Amino acid sequence: MLTYEAAKAVEGSAFTIQAGAGPTLPLTLVEVQLGRCRTPPPGLPQPFSLYLKGTPRVMCPQGTYVLENGTLGRLEVFVVPVGDDPETGEFLYQVIFN
pLDDT per position as a tens digit, 55-82: 888 889 999 999 999 999 999 999 999 9
Structural domains of the chain, count: 1
Share of the chain above pLDDT 90, in %: 70
Q: What is the mean pLDDT of residues 7-27?
A: 92
3-state helix, strand, coil in the chain (%, to 5): 5, 50, 40
Residue type, position 67, single letter: L
Do the Cβ atoms of 64 and 74 come closer than 8 Å? no
Domain that includes residue 54, residue range: 4-97
Banded model confidence at residue 45, pLDDT cuts 50, 70, 90: confident
Nearest 5°: the CA angle 90, 91, 96 is: 140
Say if pTM beats, i.e. exceeds, 0.75. yes
Each residue of 13-22: pLDDT tens digit? 999 998 777 7
